[in-house]
Amino acid sequence: MREIPGRRRRLRFRRKARSARLDAAVTFGAEWNWPVLPGAGLEEAPRTATPPRPWAAVDPEEPSRAVAGAVCRCPDPDCVVPGAHPYDPGLLAATTDERMIRWWWTTRPDAPVVLATGGRAPCAVSLPAAAGARALAALDATGMRLGPVVATPTRWSILVAPYGLERLGELLYAKDSVPSSLRFHGEGGYLLLPPSVAGTGRVRWERAPLAGSARPWLPDVEAVVDALVEASTNTPDGGSRLAY
């Protein structure tokens, strides 16, 4: 039977995407010593009269359709972060062991890559995408050195050096107010890393780690939090609306 060119192209893209996730997970865990684990991932929704395409089979040129008809693999039918959270195994299973990482992404090649934040691993501060772009512009204007920045269509996350809850609490207590749209990913938290795909769309680097980095440099949270608070407060829908 003659093979359809479009299907062949989609299969090549799927294999390439799976290899990219495995390579990224090994880099994060084994090379950078960032504990990672597979996320819940997405699956195709029940078929309808016009069946949607599964997210894993779309073209890279069609990001708006990347998650059309896809639902979270976790048991919660109302999951607000589909595909973008740990499920099985749980967060405590996060590891830097290369053999375990390779086994996970060999058996679950479509799984998103989840970073377990805090401890000796990076932490992060995330905010709505529009506010994130505004904050980065403000930090760039001051000459602030930034580390990696992760972006999804709805939120941007600035990776920072590890911090404790006590230190973070003192820092936020000194502020007049802190927008509820800001999220702090510290000890016991997690963050989706590129090149994952979740219910909100593709995860990418807005500021990628420097090529060949033994381990990316990270700023302290004190260096960026003022700009993030101000940008979230002054951006429409960036202060009080918690956009996933």
Is 168 a member of any domain? yes
The pLDDT of residue 165 is: 85
The pLDDT of residue 132 is: 93
Structural domain total, the chain: 1
The pLDDT of residue 237 is: 59
What region, left, alpha or beta, does residue 33 occupy, with left being phi > 0 and alpha being psi -120 to 50 degrees?
left
The pLDDT of residue 8 is: 53
The pLDDT of residue 114 is: 98
Q: What is the pLDDT of residues 167-193, one digit of tens each?
A: 888 888 888 888 888 999 999 999 999
In contact, 82 and 198? CB cutoff 8 Å:
yes
Is 138 a member of any domain? yes
The pLDDT of residue 178 is: 86
Q: Residue holding tokens 């002054």?
A: 234
What region, left, alpha or beta, does residue 101 occupy, with left being phi > 0 and alpha being psi -120 to 50 degrees?
alpha
Is 176 a member of any domain? yes
Per-residue pLDDT band for 108 (boundaries 50, 70, 90) equals very high
**pLDDT at residue 136 above 90?**
yes
Is 163 a member of any domain? yes
d(C-alpha 138, C-alpha 227), whole Å: 7
Q: What is the pLDDT of residues 77-87, one digit of tens each?
A: 889 899 999 99
Is 178 a member of any domain? yes
Tell which wins on pLDDT, 109 or 53: 109
Is 241 a member of any domain? no
SS3 151: strand
What's the mean pLDDT when you consider all of the chain?
84
| Least confident stretch, 12-16, 24-28, 124-128, 171-175 | 12-16
Q: How would DSSP label each residue in 26-70?
A: HIIIIIT---EEE---EEEPPP-SSPPPPGGGS-TT-GGGTTTTE
pTM of the full structure: 0.82
Q: What is the pLDDT of residues 26-42, one digit of tens each?
A: 999 999 999 999 999 99
The pLDDT of residue 15 is: 59
Task: Provide the residue range defining the domain that includes 183.
Answer: 5-234
Is 240 a member of any domain? no
Tell which wins on pLDDT, 165 or 74: 74
